[in-house]
Amino acid sequence: MTKSIKHKLSFIPKFKYLLHSTREYKKYAYGSIIFVLLETALECVIPYIMSLLIEVLSSFINVTVTDALKEQALHSVLIYAAILLVLGALSLFCGVMSGRMSAIAATGLTKNLRVDIFKKITSYSFNNIDKFSTSSLITRQTTDIWNIQMAYMLLIRIAVRAPFMFVFSFVMALVVATPISWIFLITIPFIAIILICLIPIATKLFVKLFRKYDDLNELTEENIRGMRVVKTYAREEQQKEKFAHESGVMGKGFQKVEQIMSAVNPAMQAVMYLSMSLILFMGSMLCIELGIEFGPENAPFNVGSLSAMITYSAQVLSSLMMVAMILFMIIMAVPAIERSYEVLTEEPTIKNPENPLFEVKNGDIDFENVSFKYKEDAEKYALANINLHIKSGQTVGIIGGTGSSKSTLVNLLSRFYDASVGDVKVGGENVKNYDVKTLRDNVAMVLQKNVLFSGTINDNLRWGNKEATQEEIIEACKIAQADSFIETFPKKYDSWIEQGGVNVSGGQRQRLCIARALLKKPKVLILDDSTSAVDTKTDAFIRKGFKEFIPGITKIIIAQRISSVQDADMIIVMDNGEINGVGTHEELLKNNAIYQEVYEIQNRVGGAH
């Protein structure tokens, strides 16, 4: 087997892997297959019964008809007609049942597959998520799943029906009309050649098109998320042109695929009609010759046989056309299968240890000779030679320029990433020894990009603790300085938050996220530039609330404003992935050039007030 053929067949074990998601719907797939086989068998028997009926009728054409013969003929016709009605009704029933069961099986598979993929995505670390773009994951959950569903439905119906009908019809054709069955040996290779020539071309096009789907989804998502920026800079027309171009590229690709697929049907129909024409011509000649030799009623090949042969030839060739349709659907589904398989088999880089710890004793934090890079083959470390020791209950400020790896440093505490070199410890234990959920429940982080979900304010706050009482929620909101604005809303804590929190201001969104983190009652609280949209007065009240109400929690505050960290027990100055200085506000003003420069600039422009 050549390498190219092996590559084309490599999707088969991947598809089998995806079929694990059939679970409770497997019985419907088997049921569909059984009914398809019964339906096909009945459809192949019907032409034979019809040929017997035609033989009965044709045997009286050149015979003097008596009353006895009329009665005999009518009796035979009624029997065959009754058999045909029963077979037709059974065939219809089997067809309806197979269609119903295949639909349930296919939609059930894709329902479970979506859930399995989503569960897998939620188990990913940031490293895993970085590997896939958001737009690509959305495409895999929508377009790819739809293509898998259609392919699976065809496989459990048409892929079973087509070969069975081909074999059964071909055998019946040999039985009914052996002398002219050689015609199939001429026409079938033509169809095979058509498929062999066109399928590789279509395969390459579909692979490219699925990549374009990702690009188009990414462009759409980017414009929707950045709509305010697009409108601010009045770039709607440019973005429309960009989208139209990408859509046009995809449209041309699908146009090529459709042209190929549209060329297959006429070509195969031409072969089918040629075959039927040959059967009609050769069969008619055979009927005449054998009719003269044996007599119409005794000829081994007669009009009834010819009628059955035409039907079987149509079934044989239509089954090949079904195979072509299946192949194109599978070609379309192959990239979807491979992309879904890729998501499901991606191993999370952050995993629980064999015997995890389920308790974080305190908020002590230690970085011991820690270095980190996002990719193993990266030339430079994002963090280098980090040594830090923070005592439980301390307030620590982190300041530094953009790209100085402030966020990267704290991401290691929650195991969003694992250190490449060295040890990161919380509560005296390496973070890798903890149960991941336990660690993240005790190391609460308010991210730089604050996210709220559609639902009430209470719903959003209970993300921190789903069992939190209303009193606990109000207390957390008072510390975060959120209670004052919530009380101004008509429904207060039952007020509705739109998706992304677009109906509250940036500062209000930040305070709600801080309150949500406080409800976790963590050992360590990290604010990653989470008060940037809050005025300095409110920022001061938040820090005062931390000092008074949660003194035992270790607090790490990443900020751009020195005023947000100047009261901290320890301030860390980051520069280019390294610690440039550590000390109190007063100490750093004396001996750290970066801190001095930032302080002078902010005070000169009034940034500290």
The Cα-based distances of 359 to 389, 415, 438, 443, 468 in angstroms read 20, 16, 7, 12, 20
Nearest 5°: the CA angle 196, 198, 170 is: 45
- Taking the whole predicted model, whether its pTM rises above 0.75 is answered as no
The H-or-E segment that residue 91 falls in is helix 67-122
**How would residue 228 be classed by pLDDT, with cut points 50, 70 and 90?**
low
pLDDT at 391 over 90: yes
Give the residue ranges of DSSP H helices in 123-133.
126-131
> Which pLDDT band, with edges at 50, 70 and 90, does 68 fall under?
low
Nearest to 592, CA basis, from 574, 567, 568: 574
Give 291-319 pLDDT, tens digit per residue. Answer: 555 555 555 566 666 777 777 777 777 77
The pLDDT score that the predictor gives to residue 607 is 45
Mean pLDDT over all residues of the chain? 80
Would you call 372 helix, strand, or coil by DSSP? strand
| Cα–Cα distance list, 342 to 127, 337, 345, 377, 418 (Å) | 15, 8, 5, 21, 22
pLDDT (0 to 100) of residue 571: 92
State percent of the chain over pLDDT 90: 12
The answer, yes or no, to whether residue 19 has pLDDT greater than 90, is no
pLDDT at 9 over 60: no
Distances (CA, A) of 46 to 39, 43, 77, 177: 11, 5, 14, 16
What are 42-55's pLDDT values in tens digits?
888 888 787 777 77
In this structure, what DSSP letter does residue 427 have? T
What is the rounded end-to-end Cα distance, in angstroms, of the chain? 75
Average pLDDT, stretch 178-192? 70
Mean pLDDT value of segment 271-299: 66
In one letter, which amino acid is 229?
A: V
- Higher pLDDT, residue 447 or 27: 27
User: b/e map of 66-84 (b: 16 or more CB within 10 Å)?
Assistant: eeeeeeebeebeeebeebe
Radius of gyration of the chain (CA): 37
**226 residue type, one letter:** G
Confidence of residue 5 (pLDDT cuts 50, 70, 90): very low
Residue 118 CB contacts under 8 Å (≥ 6 apart), including other chains: 141
Higher pLDDT, 305 or 556: 556
Q: Enumerate residues 6+ apart whose C-beta is below 8 A from 383.
A: 370, 371, 372, 373, 405, 408, 409, 412, 419, 577, 578
Distance CA 141, CA 484 (A): 41
Q: Which of 391, 443, 374, 384 is nearest to 414 (CA)?
A: 443
* Tokens 């001095």 -> residue: 596
How many CB atoms neighbour CB 385 within 10 A? 14
Query: Does residue 208 register a pLDDT over 80?
Result: no
User: Quick check: 390 and 365 in contact, CB under 8 A?
Assistant: yes
**Res 3 pLDDT > 70:** no
Q: What is residue 348's three-state secondary structure?
A: coil
Instruction: Give the confidence band of 2 by pLDDT, cuts at 50, 70, 90.
Output: very low
Report whether pLDDT(290) > 70.
no
User: pLDDT (tens digit, 9 = 90+) per residue, 362-376?
Assistant: 999 999 999 998 887
Residue 92 reports pLDDT greater than 70: yes
Instruction: Tell me how far apart the alpha carbons of residues 472 and 150 are, in angstroms, rounded to a whole number.
Output: 50
DSSP H/E element including 537: helix 536-549
Which of 458, 386, 444, 392 lies closest to 413 in space, CA to CA? 444
Between 477 and 273, the more confident residue is: 477
H runs (alpha helix) in 295-353:
303-345
Is the pLDDT confidence value at 197 over 80? no
pLDDT at 7: 46
pLDDT of residue 207: 62
pLDDT per residue as tens digits for the range 165-182: 877 777 777 777 666 766
